[in-house]
Amino acid sequence: MSEIRDWKLVETNLGRSEQIPYEVAVLPIGATEAHNLHLPYGTDSYQVEAVAERACERAWQQGAEVLLLPTITVGVNENTLGFPWTLSYKPTTILQILRDTVSCLEQHRLMKLLILNGHGGNELKPFLRELFRETDVQIVLVDWWTVDPEGFETIFDEPGEHGGEMETSVMLHLRPELVEMERADEGATREPHFTGMKQGWAWIARPWDRLTYNSGVGNPRSATAEKGEQFVERCTSKIATLLVEMAHESLDDWYPYEAD
């Protein structure tokens, strides 16, 4: 039996793909950035790709003909470039990449797309609004780590935001050989002066090298591979369900709502 996974574009071939009426494309987008001192630069990309792969595999087993596109491995990191070797595409660059990708899907008449995001700096809602009238491709957006708020709250003592307990746990589950726990600091941050920022209603694109000490936000010490596995499993199964529903939804004038 072939090892080739028909749902993974970079793996399959023209001979196989011609036989399959793909219904939903999945586009993971991550980042390449410092994650405290102990996690790989590719953390967000590894995570989102693994979640996307597992969700696609599960959806495929449930009869949904999904097609996983190659991961975009650089994200919007303009405000975190103060740390060495972090890479960044500007939001307008990401828009062009998404626009070109969507246009290819339209060319191939694959008209449903799930964008699976793995990096907080990739705020992609404006792009869905930007493309709304430009394309007939129906786009759904998911930030993978937000799909299971209950698991997020209950599995972790203090999930953290960047290189903290949640992300470290997930990496201990997915790629333990790339985690150097002994290097990690406690992920402390500096307090802003503005009251509105302390209360959370005044926003800035936080300059990461002033906010953090070694790029981490949140203490990774209580991370375990088991917590990571549990969280990834919960998120993956919900995303797989979404893919199955998207695959079955007909692209009529009422998509994705119930007709009158």
Binding positions for Zn ion, rule: CB under 5 A: 43-44
What is the amino acid identity at position 139? Answer: I
**For Zn ion, which is the closer residue by CB, 43 or 236?**
43
Tell me how far apart the alpha carbons of residues 172 and 222 are, in angstroms, rounded to a whole number.
12
Give the Cα separation of 112 and 26 in Å (integer).
Answer: 9
- Nearer CB in complex with Zn ion: 127/208: 208
CB of 46 to Zn ion, least distance (A): 10
CA-CA distance, 248 to 38, in Å (whole number)? Answer: 42
Look up tokens 């926003």; give the residue: 203
The residue whose Cβ lies closest to Zn ion is 44
- What is the smallest separation between the CB atom of 30 and Zn ion, expressed in angstroms? 8
Q: For the CB of residue 90, give the shortest distance to Zn ion in the complex, in Å.
A: 19
Rank residues 66 and 170 by Cβ distance to Zn ion and give the closer one.
170
CB-nearer residue toward Zn ion: 35 or 112: 35
- 118 in helix, strand or coil? coil
CB 165 within 8 A of CB 157: yes
User: How many CB atoms neighbour CB 82 within 10 A?
Assistant: 14
Report, in Å, the least distance between residue 43 CB and Zn ion. 5
Query: How far apart, in whole angstroms, are the C-alpha atoms of residue 154 and residue 110?
Result: 38
**Closest separation in Å from C-beta 48 to Zn ion:** 9
Q: Compare residues 6 and 44 and give the one whose CB is closer to Zn ion.
A: 44
